[in-house]
């Protein structure tokens, strides 16, 4: 694994307001950086020994003596798009629909099952390791509870 996917990070957000420089863009850029910085103080992002070597592009671009530099990782890499024109945002819309269905009706075991399957394939599985609406309370993920 050469890590080349970390040469350029792109964070695309589904825009509600589409005028350039709108309030949504201005506020969200600040809030996203503040949220991730605060969250990483409590639960720091870990680098994987043997993969994240000094030569790895992620380490070169974003690591510092204090840990991962959220400012360098987030600030220049956020853009706002329209889901009708972005396949990535369309996938995110589908995922959001599954999470919303699971969160809004906890008795709907079908939605919870889809959420569980989704989280098993997420990079922060199990859910309590990263941001999420649910955390498992059984080892086999057959039962979930809101946090």
pTM over 0.95: no
What's the confidence (pLDDT) of residue 17?
84
What's the confidence (pLDDT) of residue 103?
73
Where do we find the tokens 């000094």? 54
What's the confidence (pLDDT) of residue 118?
65
Give the pLDDT means over successive 10-residue stretches in the chain (147 positions). 67 85 86 86 81 90 87 88 89 83 71 68 47 43 44
Residue 74's CB is within 10 A of a number of other CB atoms, namely: 19
What's the confidence (pLDDT) of residue 132?
43
What's the confidence (pLDDT) of residue 133?
41
Under a CB-based contact definition with an 8 Å cutoff, are residues 40 and 68 in contact? yes
What's the confidence (pLDDT) of residue 125?
43
What's the confidence (pLDDT) of residue 124?
45
* DSSP states along 67-113: EE-HHHHHGGGEEEE-GGG-HHHHHHHHHHHHHHHHHH-TT-HHHHH
């Amino acid at each position: 694994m050469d890590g080349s996917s970390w040469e350029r990070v792109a964070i695309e957000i589904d825009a509600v307001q589409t005028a350039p420089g709108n309030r949504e863009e201005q506020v969200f850029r600040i809030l996203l950086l503040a949220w991730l910085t605060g969250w990483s103080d409590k639960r720091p992002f870990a680098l994987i020994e043997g993969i994240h070597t000094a030569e790895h592009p992620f380490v070169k671009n974003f690591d510092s003596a204090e840990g991962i530099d959220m400012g360098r990782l987030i600030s220049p890499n956020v853009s706002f798009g329209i889901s009708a024109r972005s396949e990535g945002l369309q996938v995110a819309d589908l995922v959001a629909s599954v999470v919303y269905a699971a969160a809004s009706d906890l008795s709907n075991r079908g939605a919870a099952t889809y959420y569980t399957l989704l989280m098993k394939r997420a990079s922060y599985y199990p859910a309590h390791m990263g941001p999420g609406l649910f955390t498992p309370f059984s080892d086999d993920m057959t039962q979930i509870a809101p946090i």
